[in-house]
Structure 1
Amino acid sequence: MNFDQILAAIGGFGRYQKILYIWICLPQILLAFHMMVSIFTGATPPHRCRESSDPGAGNQTLIPATDTVNLSLSNSSCFLSDPQQQDVPCSHGWVYSREVFQSTTVTEWDLVCSKAGLNSLGSSIYMSGLLVGSVLFGAMADRYGRRFVLLLSIALQTVFGVAVAFAPNFPVYVILRFAVGATISGVIINAFVLGTEWTCTKRRMLAGIITDYAFGLGYMLLAGVAYLIRDWRKLQLAISAPGFLLIFYIRVLPQSARWLLANDRREEAVALLRKAALINGRVLPPAVQVDKNVLGGAKRSHSVVDLVRRPQMRKRTIILFYIWFVNVLVYYGLSLGVSRLGTNLYLTQFVFGLVEIPARTLVLLVLPFSRRLSQSGFLAVGGLACLLMLTIPADHPNLLTGLAMVGKFGITASFAVIYVYTAELFPTVVRQTGIGVSSMFARMGGVLAPVINMLHNHSPATPLIIFGMSPLLGAILALALPETTNRPLPDTLEEAENWDIRLDPGKGNPEICDDVGQIENSTELQHLQSQS
């Protein structure tokens, strides 16, 4: 018996797994808060140069929106006009409208004009934290276990998130946000892996998609929280402090039995499997408890090089890396650029989160028919919507917002598909490695998204061209990938390389489970009974 057969015998998606999914979904709400909060905390309100004659020029940084000065005049944002009609750089600082925000990092540290690039640089550094975290916490998870690293990531995320609210200056703020970004990768990767390693093959796509529903909920909730709290420090504290409530995870969050077995901690794994079987109303097959060889023998170690050693694997790996990169590039490019659409920021943020729910629901409906066509189609929708935005005049913000939401819909759905598709294309021996490296390329897209958005100030069309053409190329490349629907998952590199000559696709996956993890294959059931 291998682990998947044992998992199916004790309930591959029973009550135990459903409770586990609740625990791995809750932190996703906080992840959405941290990922998107910079839209509000780093917003740039209308502003103008402060004149020496302004009341309270020495300490006033905000002015009422009813100020008679027209704050939308571009020539008053960074320069003063003297009697000779020459533009003079601001020498007394700036004053900002407080119609929408009481304070942001921009208003507190004057991140405008010559220092405007620091705001986008801070976002890129934050995304770099996610890149570093995917490497650091991914390696730690393989060594110390999914549970420990997930708990550590949640704890550090809470501590650093609260610390951000008390940052004394911009450099410290950026460093703390970088640390928060790193911990977010630790939560994302290990929550996904912990869910998949406890779930039968047929239901494993739920590990990525169900947690994404929670992320979408957090996306929407953030709009409401930010609407009520207009001061950036108070908002940062409000989204971070709830992490302390998850301290009870120390008692309820389980370790991965599959990881325990891979690290020769068999007794702990059997104890966990017995507990899962009890909660699911099943009995752990006695053979698992008695026969030490029932879970297979020694395994050969593999490395990142195995992802590109063989020609077919190399082709698929490169395509997958590119699709991961594009998904995150466009997802955060559109999300972080929401303030430029010219509509109500809070309402648009809420709808951008709301659109993720039907996007992921549609994925659940179409994914059983085709992984490849779903991946290609959703990428094409996202790319075409971005390109169509180029045809809409700037004085039609509602149309621009509508197309941006269509693009967000397509990319969100594509993002949900790529998690499942990647896990099915990489063979078991390098699956974790493949997902980890894919996540690294995804974070590179996140790092570049704020930088590309900066190009809007010089050429408004450039970001949309990049966000439109990149997914279209990905849509074409996705068609070169093999179909994995109803195909047995490859376990070895040889099986993955010879995909086209493997088992007949009609045979499906031998491990099939219903909602409580029952095995529907009678031959398999008889085999397990005989083993018991």
Structure 2
Amino acid sequence: MAFQDLLDQVGSLGRFQILQMIFILISNIIVAPHSLLENFTAAIPSHRCWVPILDNDTVSDNESGILSKEDLLRVSIPLDSNLRPDKCRRFVQPQWHLLHLNGTVSNVTETDIEPCVDGWVYDQSTSFTIVTEWNLVCESQSMDSVAKFSFLSGTLVGNILCGHLTDRFGRRLIFICALLQMAISETCAAFAPTFLIYCSLRFLAGISSSGFTTNCGLLMIEWTKPEFQALSTTLLVCSAGIGQMTLGGLAFTVRNWHHLQLMMSLPLFFFLVPTRWMSESARWLIVTNKLQRSLKELRKVAHINGMKSSGDILTIEVVRTTMKEELEASQTKSSLWDLFRTPILRKRMFLLSFVRFLTWISVLGLLVNLQHLRTNVFLLQCLFGIVSIPANLLGMVLLNRMGRRISQLLILSFFGVSILATEFVPQATYFDYLPWIIYGVSPILGGLIVLLLPETKNKPLPDSVQDIEKERRISRQAKQKDTFIKVTQF
């Protein structure tokens, strides 16, 4: 918490913070939508089996032109349970007698039907996707989910790896490496020759996405004071919303998945150039005992923020004296298990992880399955981005007015109720309601769990486990003092 004193001397929201924040936000506009690419690159268009009399130009069964395309489709493709042309089966031989049944039930048996042994015909008016390229339909339709699973699995691995690497090598370095890895892997994915290679590249992209997102937040929050941290986080989420709108607009105009993948990936290389002028987190440099580098960064920030005189006053001794307790604590070798060694930190880690788990079940479940809402996926993607901006600004107001706990309870509960409400929207066909109930109940439960966490509104970030221990002791002493006062009153 002592770092806040140093930050106040060099400026906690000046020109430096604004410039670095703008660069990070613009980068996030392009990076964030990569988690949603499969909404468009893996969209499942309308399809049916390939049949000779409809799709083979050399077949002369209909040279007279008497029969319409609908008639030929009726004698070639059986109907499914919804009385629509089946997507995965065809008749072994054309059933000409079906043209004279006038809607009555036919005597077609299963022996007259076979799977799509010659492939599929896709709706040419829709996008060219990985589904049409590798025929991920019918028996292979589950492979469509594998593509999404690959990226999300990468984010899980990335969160585990990048958290450790960020604490060891710094925020700036991992930010740059993650951006470079995403640029390379996503660009290569556009030229993937097989589905397996495509999924492998998307897995690598998921890993880099976690590293990028984590360090975006750290490089913004660790350079600002508590009063502006909610604003920084809100702007980061709003930039992701702008990214969703960008993705929806590009996907509407660019229907070839190769081209869309490239348009979302190639700009990432250009964002590597400005990273040369990014500043490392001085908070991390001090905690890792890199005092000379931290002093250099602090003076640089003071100069950019127009507080050169304050920066000149800063010395190694000032930094060492101000951060004395944190530096002493950093001498003790720490490990992952230290997060769970302290009771109060163990409780917070468990509750926050559980809340995040419940929230992201709903968020990702909703965002990566937009096509299953059976509406215009391009418009829906843009609407999600548009709505997220005022919603997050409202969330920031609630955070500053009502605190973190109550505002999260209200926001997550509203999110869950909104998803549950989709169950009452009439559907033309059968609706698989169970996943959406899970998506709706999870954030409501997460909102209630938040109430078990301490309020952090306008409070400085702890720099070490010792800070949390000190907070626990102060809280315990305050309770004992309060109890003593109440007892003495009687």
- How many angstroms apart in 2 are the aligned matches of 1:473 and 1:279? 45
Note the C-alpha offset of 1:474.
1.4
Q: Residue 341 of structure 2 corresponds to which residue in structure 1?
A: 309
| Distance change (3 Å), C-alpha of 1:472 and 1:67 | farther
Q: Residue 298 of structure 1 corresponds to which residue in structure 2?
A: 328
Aligned partner letter, 1:49: C
- How do 1:354-369 and structure 2 match up within 5 A? 354-368=386-400, 369=402
Please tell me whether the aligned partners of residues 88 and 115 of structure 2 are also in contact (alpha carbons under 8 angstroms): yes
Among 315, 320, 324, the alignment partner of 1:288 is: 315
Q: TM-score, normalised by structure 2?
A: 0.83
What is the total number of aligned residue pairs between the two structures? 435
Note the C-alpha offset of 1:230.
0.4
- How many angstroms apart in 1 are the aligned matches of 2:273 and 2:250? 24
Q: Residue 43 of structure 2 corresponds to which residue in structure 1?
A: 43
Please tell me whether the aligned partners of residues 313 and 497 of structure 1 are also in contact (alpha carbons under 8 angstroms): no
- How many angstroms apart in 2 are the aligned matches of 1:490 and 1:479? 20
Aligned partner letter, 2:305: N
Aligned partner letter, 2:439: F
- How many angstroms apart in 1 are the aligned matches of 2:125 and 2:244? 23
- How do 1:250-261 and structure 2 match up within 5 A? 250-261=275-286
Q: TM-score, normalised by structure 1?
A: 0.76
Among 464, 468, 473, the alignment partner of 2:445 is: 473
- How many angstroms apart in 2 are the aligned matches of 1:319 and 1:57? 64
Q: Residue 415 of structure 2 corresponds to which residue in structure 1?
A: 382
1:507-529, CA deviations, whole angstroms, 9 ceiling, x for partnerless residues?
A: xxxxxxxxxxxxxxxxxxxxxxx
Q: Residue 7 of structure 1 corresponds to which residue in structure 2?
A: 7
Q: Residue 216 of structure 1 corresponds to which residue in structure 2?
A: 241
Among 108, 114, 119, the alignment partner of 2:133 is: 108
1:278-337, CA deviations, whole angstroms, 9 ceiling, x for partnerless residues?
A: 111112262534546323142144433333334444333222111111221111111122
| Distance change (3 Å), C-alpha of 1:57 and 1:117 | farther
Q: Residue 133 of structure 1 corresponds to which residue in structure 2?
A: 158
Note the C-alpha offset of 1:274.
0.9
Q: Residue 350 of structure 1 corresponds to which residue in structure 2?
A: 382
| Distance change (3 Å), C-alpha of 1:96 and 1:268 | same
- How many angstroms apart in 1 are the aligned matches of 2:319 and 2:380? 57
1:235-254, CA deviations, whole angstroms, 9 ceiling, x for partnerless residues?
A: 10111011121132242211
| Distance change (3 Å), C-alpha of 1:372 and 1:498 | farther
- How many angstroms apart in 2 are the aligned matches of 1:486 and 1:247? 34
- How many angstroms apart in 2 are the aligned matches of 1:216 and 1:318? 29
Note the C-alpha offset of 1:176.
0.6
Q: Residue 213 of structure 2 corresponds to which residue in structure 1?
A: 188
| Distance change (3 Å), C-alpha of 1:392 and 1:502 | farther
Please tell me whether the aligned partners of residues 223 and 349 of structure 1 are also in contact (alpha carbons under 8 angstroms): yes
| Distance change (3 Å), C-alpha of 1:237 and 1:129 | same
| Distance change (3 Å), C-alpha of 1:503 and 1:354 | farther
Please tell me whether the aligned partners of residues 51 and 57 of structure 1 are also in contact (alpha carbons under 8 angstroms): no
- How many angstroms apart in 2 are the aligned matches of 1:6 and 1:285? 13
- How many angstroms apart in 2 are the aligned matches of 1:205 and 1:98? 46
Q: Residue 509 of structure 1 corresponds to which residue in structure 2?
A: none
Q: Residue 62 of structure 2 corresponds to which residue in structure 1?
A: none
| Distance change (3 Å), C-alpha of 1:496 and 1:119 | farther
- How many angstroms apart in 1 are the aligned matches of 2:370 and 2:167? 37
Q: Residue 292 of structure 2 corresponds to which residue in structure 1?
A: 267
Q: Residue 493 of structure 1 corresponds to which residue in structure 2?
A: 468
1:379-398, CA deviations, whole angstroms, 9 ceiling, x for partnerless residues?
A: 111111222222222149xx
Note the C-alpha offset of 1:74.
5.0
Among 436, 440, 454, the alignment partner of 1:464 is: 436
Note the C-alpha offset of 1:45.
0.4
- How many angstroms apart in 2 are the aligned matches of 1:324 and 1:227? 32
Unaligned runs of 5+ in 1: 59-65, 397-456, 505-532
Over aligned residue pairs, what C-alpha RMSD do you find? 2.5
Please tell me whether the aligned partners of residues 57 and 92 of structure 1 are also in contact (alpha carbons under 8 angstroms): no
Please tell me whether the aligned partners of residues 49 and 93 of structure 1 are also in contact (alpha carbons under 8 angstroms): yes
State the percentage of identical aligned residues. Answer: 33
Please tell me whether the aligned partners of residues 390 and 461 of structure 1 are also in contact (alpha carbons under 8 angstroms): yes
SS at 2:121 equivalent: strand
1:12-32, CA deviations, whole angstroms, 9 ceiling, x for partnerless residues?
A: 111111111012112211123
Please tell me whether the aligned partners of residues 226 and 460 of structure 2 are also in contact (alpha carbons under 8 angstroms): no
Aligned partner letter, 2:320: N
Aligned partner letter, 1:298: E
Among 360, 363, 384, the alignment partner of 1:331 is: 363
1:203-230, CA deviations, whole angstroms, 9 ceiling, x for partnerless residues?
A: 1223322111111111101111111110
- How many angstroms apart in 2 are the aligned matches of 1:243 and 1:73? 47
| Distance change (3 Å), C-alpha of 1:93 and 1:136 | same
Please tell me whether the aligned partners of residues 130 and 182 of structure 1 are also in contact (alpha carbons under 8 angstroms): yes
Please tell me whether the aligned partners of residues 158 and 241 of structure 1 are also in contact (alpha carbons under 8 angstroms): yes
Note the C-alpha offset of 1:496.
4.5
Q: Residue 321 of structure 1 corresponds to which residue in structure 2?
A: 353
- How do 1:57-96 and structure 2 match up within 5 A? 68=70, 69=73, 74-82=84-92, 83=95, 84-86=108-110, 87-96=113-122
Aligned partner letter, 1:207: S
| Distance change (3 Å), C-alpha of 1:499 and 1:334 | farther
Please tell me whether the aligned partners of residues 291 and 316 of structure 2 are also in contact (alpha carbons under 8 angstroms): no
| Distance change (3 Å), C-alpha of 1:57 and 1:367 | farther
Unaligned runs of 5+ in 2: 59-67, 96-107, 480-490
- How do 1:399-410 and structure 2 match up within 5 A? none
- How many angstroms apart in 2 are the aligned matches of 1:270 and 1:314? 33
The higher radius of gyration belongs to: 2
Aligned partner letter, 2:391: A
Aligned partner letter, 2:91: S
- How do 1:238-249 and structure 2 match up within 5 A? 238-249=263-274
Please tell me whether the aligned partners of residues 490 and 496 of structure 1 are also in contact (alpha carbons under 8 angstroms): no
